[in-house]
Amino acid sequence: MTDQPAPARTARHQLDSTAAAGLQERAERTRADADRYAAVLEDIAANGLPSVEDCTPWEELREAQLARLAAQRPAVA
pLDDT at site 66: 95
Half-sphere exposure at residue 45, Cβ-oriented, CA atoms within 13 angstroms: 6
- In terms of Cα–Cα distance, which of 54, 70, 51 is closest to 62? 70
Average of per-residue pLDDT across 25-48: 97
pLDDT mean over 26-39: 97
Distance from C-alpha of 42 to C-alpha of 40, rounded to nearest angstrom: 5
What pLDDT is recorded for position 5? 74
Q: What mean pLDDT is predicted for residues 26-49? A: 97
